[in-house]
Structure 1
Amino acid sequence: MTTPDVFQPAELGPVTLRNRILKAATFEGMTKGAVVSDDLIEFHRRHAAGGVGMTTVAYCAVAPEGRTEYDQIWMRPEALPGLRRLAEAVHAEGSAVSAQIGHAGPVANGKSNRVPALSPSRTFSAQALSLIRAASKDDIRRITRAHADAAQYAIEAGFDAVEIHLGHNYFASSFLSPKINKRKDEYGGSLQGRARVARDVCRAVRDKVGDRIAVLAKFNMDDGVPGGFWLDESLQVAQWIESDGSVDALELTAGSSLLNPMYLFRGEAPLREFAAAMPQPLKFGIQVVGGKFLHSYPYQEAYLLDSARQFRAALGLPLVLLGGISTKATMDRAMAEGFQFVAMARALLREPDLLNRLRQDPSTPSLCIHCNKCMPTIFSGTHCVLAGADDQGQPAARPRSR
Structure 2
Amino acid sequence: MNTATSLPGDTHRAHPDVFSPAKLGPVTLRNRIIKAATFEASTPDALVTDDLIKYHRLPAAGGVGMTTVAYLAVTPGGRTEGRQIWWRPEAIPGLRDLTEAIHAEGAAISAQIGHAGPVADARSNKATAYAPVRFFNPLSMRFAKRATKDDIKDIIEAHAKAARFAIEAGFDAVEIHLGHNYFASSFLSPLINRRDDEFGGSLQNRAKVARGLVRAVRQAVDREGTPIAVTAKLSMADGVRGGITIDEALQTAKWLEEDGGLDALELTAGSSLVNPMYLFRGDAPVKEFAAAFKPPLRWGIRMTGNKFFREYPYRDAFLLRDAKKFRAELKMPLILLGGITNRETMDLAMAEGFEFVAMARALLAEPDLINRIKADGDAHTVRSACTHCNRCMATIYSHTHCVVTGSPG
TM-score class, shorter-chain normalisation, is over 0.9
1:253 partner amino acid: T
Q: CA deviation at 1:2?
A: 3.1
Q: Secondary structure at the match of 2:174?
A: strand
Matched, 1:75 2:93: no
> Matched residue of 2:15: which SS?
coil
TM superposition score normalised by structure 1: 0.96
Deviation at 1:282, TM superposition (A): 2.0
Question: Which stretch has the larger CA shift, 182-191 or 12-21?
Answer: 182-191
- The alpha-carbon deviation at position 380 of structure 1 amounts to 1.4
Is 1:376 aligned to residue 394 of structure 2? yes
The answer to whether the Cα contact below 8 Å between 1:381 and 1:398 also exists between their aligned partners in 2 is no
Q: Structure 1: any 5+ residue segments left out of the alignment?
A: 388-395
Give the match for residue 328 of structure 2: 313
Superposition pairs of residues 49-68 of structure 1, within 5 angstroms: 49-68=61-80
SS of the aligned residue for 2:394 comes to helix
Does structure 1 residue 254 correspond to structure 2 residue 272? Answer: no
Q: Distance in 1 between matches of 2:35 and 2:144?
A: 32
- Give the structure 1 partner of residue 302 of structure 2: 287
* C-alpha distance in 1 between matches for 2:296 and 2:21: 49
Return the offset for 1:130: 3.0
What amino acid maps onto 1:223 in structure 2? D
Change (3 A) 1:35 1:108: same
For 1:113-152, list aligned pairs within 5 A: 113-152=125-164
Q: Is the 8 A contact 1:266 1:299 kept in 2?
A: yes
Q: Shift in Å at residue 281 of structure 1?
A: 2.6
Give, in whole Å, the separation in 1 of the partners of 2:81 and 2:189.
23
In the alignment, does 2:362 pair up with 1:347?
yes
In 2, the alpha carbon distance for the partners of 1:220 and 1:123 equals 20
Amino acid at match of 1:285: G
For residues 120 and 278 of structure 1, the distance between their equivalents in structure 2, rounded to whole angstroms, comes to 27
The equivalent residue for 1:390 is: none
Unaligned stretches of 5+ residues in structure 2: 1-12
User: Aligned-pair distance for 1:268?
Assistant: 1.1
3-state DSSP of counterpart to 1:347: helix
Question: In the alignment, what sits opposite 2:175?
Answer: 163
How many Å separate the matches in 1 of 2:157 and 2:128? 19
Identity %: 64
Does residue 221 of the first structure (1) align with residue 236 of the second (2)? yes
Q: CA RMSD in A?
A: 1.0
Structure-1 residue corresponding to 2:113: 101
Aligned equivalents of 2:129 and 2:240: distance in 1?
Answer: 21
Structure 2 Cα separation of the partners of residues 380 and 183 of structure 1: 36
**TM superposition shift of 1:37:** 0.9
Question: How far is 1:133 from its partner?
Answer: 1.6
- 1:110 alignment partner, one of 110, 119, 122: 122
8 A Cα contact 1:267 1:299, kept in partner: yes
Cα drift, residue 54 of structure 1: 0.1
Per-residue CA distance 1:234-278 (angstroms, 9 max, x = gap): 111100000000000000000000111111001111111111112
Q: How far 1:397 moved relative to its partner? A: 5.9
